[in-house]
Chain A
């Protein structure tokens, strides 16, 4: 459950970072169309907000939100390091992460 929260936060921050011209150009070749970046930004905020849900369901609102706050900083810290040194890994990780975490959680 903690891993789903982490994976969703990471994907959320990834989408948010890709919604800026600078990081979009860093990861893809182009700067991205304004519409695409708007959608990425929306997706990012939705994922970040959604990341709180698994924790709240399983641990209740109080611990769930605390968990979320701590996980957010870890996910974002990881993303900053990847953006600086390994930007190509971000999209695969952001896509694969939540599904892997879900699989780990279910089995």
Chain B
């Protein structure tokens, strides 16, 4: 009997911890899952860049263009197009300008023509990424605490859920469709247990990442408040040092031409199979110019961010001594492993997709858990003859979150397409559209019956997602069939995913529409043997 008590206590913990933070966790999981593709989403949200198609001359062409684009630069950096962003980015600092991370001038460049492009103002996938751990419109630290606590609760819910689920091995793979509450419980169990390694890894690494932000006391006491120094020492994420040049040192009039880039790039490409990610030049046009090439992201999690660099004499093109790769301490290596596991910075496209699917499974786990809470209490409600206000509230919040959040994301994408390009505060209005629509989705179920509200929101979300690729057909360089034919998977992948999301939401609505709640009449009185269902 004692074991039963323990299991029931866990069931209680699982039910209420899961319910209270379920909506927040659903939002965190869904936007976090999309963040695996945040760069791809951002690129998709800037259709002005879609004409940009890199070829093998791109790096050289862009480097040449920099000399006319920024003739007075004391330093310039070119971020080359990669498989996650077909556009290039140039940043430069004119002589005498302070060198800070987001300072100077920057412009997007077309990889094919090296012409400057002005993409529309948008936060892109970055908004979804930020939202998943900082929410929005509240102090960052507070939001991170909230998400951090929710993540803790998620870990608790996972562990207590496993303890509660007594037939964990026997029903490992079981899904029994069309059986009402049984099916929901099966779906909840299957999505939870089968992806358990992923869930544990992503929640635990997420917690570890937030820990650095939330509990910096260890770092602060060791570094006496100079947190910047800690990050500089542990990975060099701080502001870069200004190049050693005063305004007066620039030899006026006489420009020393830069070395040809082609042989340097060829050397680097030979050395790095992943290719070059960026080109930096300090003091261009002077006799002590230096060209630095940086390798595209490394393979190992342990040396995250420490990709190799090659430095060349900017005039002769001779190879200089490269800066030594900083050594990595053990705690740092551990932190790097966990944070990279969470951020998936290292991953190529296939692995990213596997993480994305696992993330969708996790989102489904939370959604089925939330729905299960309502389904499980239907008999109780029937016996009572009315709907208690608490149950109604959960129903409304379930619809407004589970169906409403995808709808709000669709609205965010539509706002990106429809708002005028020159509008002031354009990116803010995209975000406002997201929240306005989400709010409407939370109010709408109050005015409709439970089933109607689910159906309407699912259909509208499906319709909005399906129409997005159709709208892109009308844009100059974003046609799905064209991007498929030309093998531009960056764009085609996003459009196909939107169509798949529409199909999924539409399928949910279609199933729900055909659903007849017959099982209620057939329901057996609950017996002790259904104890396991109290896991819900």
CB distance from A54 to the nearest CB of B (A): 13
Contacting residues of chain A (39-75) with chain B, CB-CB under 8 angstroms? 59-60, 62-63, 66-74
Contact across chains for B173 and A73 when beta carbons are under 8 A apart: no
From known contacts A73-B361, A83-B175, infer whether A20 and B198 are also in contact, taking CB-CB under 8 Å: no
CB distance from B367 to the nearest CB of A (A): 15
A47: min CB distance to chain B, Å: 15
In the bound complex, do residue A20 and residue B170 qualify as a contact, i.e. CB atoms below 8 Å apart?
Answer: yes
**Per-residue interface assignment for chain A, residues 73 to 107, with 1 indicating a CB less than 8 Å from any chain B CB and 0 otherwise:** 11011011101100000000000000000000000
Are the CB atoms of B301 and A80 closer together than 8 Å?
no
Rounded to whole angstroms, the CA-CA distance of A16 and B173 in the bound complex is 9
CB–CB A70/B355 < 8 A: yes
Closest Cβ of chain A to B331, distance in Å, is 15
Q: CA–CA, A63 to B198, complex, Å?
A: 13
A76 and B341 within 8 A (CB)? no
Cα A70 to Cα B169 in complex, Å, equals: 20
What chain B residues lie within 8 Å of A79 (beta carbons)?
173
A72 and B173 contact, Cβ closer than 8 Å, known pairs A66-B341, A77-B357, A77-B361 = no
Which residues on the B side are within 8 Å of A76 (C-beta)? 173, 190, 194-195
Q: B70 contacts the other chain (Cβ, under 8 Å)? A: no
Which residues from A are CB-within-8-Å of B337? 62
Q: Are B173 and A69 in contact (CB under 8 A)?
A: no
Residue in A13, A22, A63 whose Cβ sees the most chain B Cβ within 10 Å: A63
For chain B, give the interface size range: 20 to 34
User: For the complex, is B302 an interface residue (Cβ under 8 Å from A)?
Assistant: yes
**Structural contact, B198 and A62, CB atoms closer than 8 A:** no
| Contact across chains for B195 and A63 when beta carbons are under 8 A apart | no
B197 at the interface (CB under 8 A from A): yes
Q: Is the CB of A80 within 8 A of B355?
A: no
Most B C-beta atoms less than 10 A away, residue of A2, A66, A67, A77 = A66
Assembled-state Cα–Cα distance A4/B300 (Å): 20
Minimum CB–CB distance from B366 to chain A (whole Å) comes to: 15
Q: Which of B309-317, B346-354, B441-449 contacts A (4 or more CB under 8 A)?
A: B346-354
Q: Which of A13, A60, A69, A83 has the most CB of B within 10 A?
A: A69
Q: How many A-B residue pairs have CB under 8 A?
A: 90
Contact for A2 among B172, B173, B190, B354, CB less than 8 A: B354
How far, in Å, is A83 (CB) from chain B's closest CB?
5
The answer on a CB contact under 8 Å between B195 and A72 is yes
Tell whether A17 is near chain B: CB-to-CB under 8 Å. Answer: yes
B290 to chain A, nearest CB (A): 32
Contact with A along B341-382 (1 / 0, CB 8 A): 100101100110011011001000000000000000000000
Asked if A23 CB lies within 8 Å of chain B CBs, one says: yes
A63 contacts which of B194, B346, B357 (Cβ < 8 Å)?
A: B346
How many Å from the CB of A84 to the closest CB on chain B?
5
Nearest residue, chain B, Cβ from A3: B350
Looking at A2, A22, A23, A62, the one whose CB has the most chain B CB atoms below 10 A away is A62
A62, B302: Cβ atoms under 8 Å?
A: yes
Interface pair A80/B354, CB less than 8 Å apart: no
Q: Determine the distance from Cα of A77 to Cα of B169 in the docked complex, in whole angstroms.
A: 15
Known interface pairs A77-B361, A80-B173; A67-B354 also in contact (CB < 8 Å): yes
Q: Give Cα distance in the complex from A74 to B198, angstroms.
A: 10
Report how far A77 CA is from B354 CA in the complex, Å: 12
In the assembled complex, the Cα of A62 lies from the Cα of B347 at a distance in Å of 12
B280 to chain A, nearest CB (A): 28
- In this assembly, does B177 line the interface, its C-beta being within 8 Å of a C-beta of chain A? yes
A6-49: CB near B (< 8 Å → 1, else 0) gives: 00000001001100101100000000000000000000000000
Establish whether residues B301 and A73, one from each chain, have CB atoms under 8 Å apart when the complex forms.
no
Q: How far is the CA of A88 from the CA of B247 in the complex (A)?
A: 76
CB closest residue in chain B, given A20: B170
Q: A22-B170, A74-B358, A80-B190 are in contact. Are A60 and B175 (CB under 8 A)?
A: no
A74 proximity list for chain B (CB < 8 A): 354, 357-358
By a CB distance below 8 angstroms, the chain B residues around A13 are: 173, 194
Instruction: Digitize B142-172: 1 where CB-to-A-CB distance is under 8 Å, 0 elsewhere.
Output: 0000000000000000000000000001101
Question: For the complex, what is the distance from the CA of A67 to the CA of B174, rounded to whole Å?
Answer: 25
Residue of B nearest to A59 (CB): B299
Residues of B near A81 (CB, < 8 A) are 175
Using A60-B302, A70-B358, A72-B194 as known contacts, list a sample of 6 further A-B pairs with CB atoms less than 8 Å apart, ordered by residue number in A: A22-B174, A62-B301, A62-B302, A72-B197, A73-B358, A81-B175
* A/B interface sample: 11 pairs, CB < 8 A: A16-B173, A20-B170, A62-B302, A62-B337, A70-B358, A72-B198, A74-B357, A77-B357, A80-B190, A83-B175, A84-B177
Residues of B near any A CB (own CB < 8 A): 169-170, 172-177, 190-191, 194-195, 197-198, 201, 299-302, 337, 340-341, 344, 346-347, 350-351, 354-355, 357-358, 361
6 shortest interchain CB distances as A-B pairs: A73-B195, A76-B194, A62-B301, A70-B354, A69-B197, A17-B173
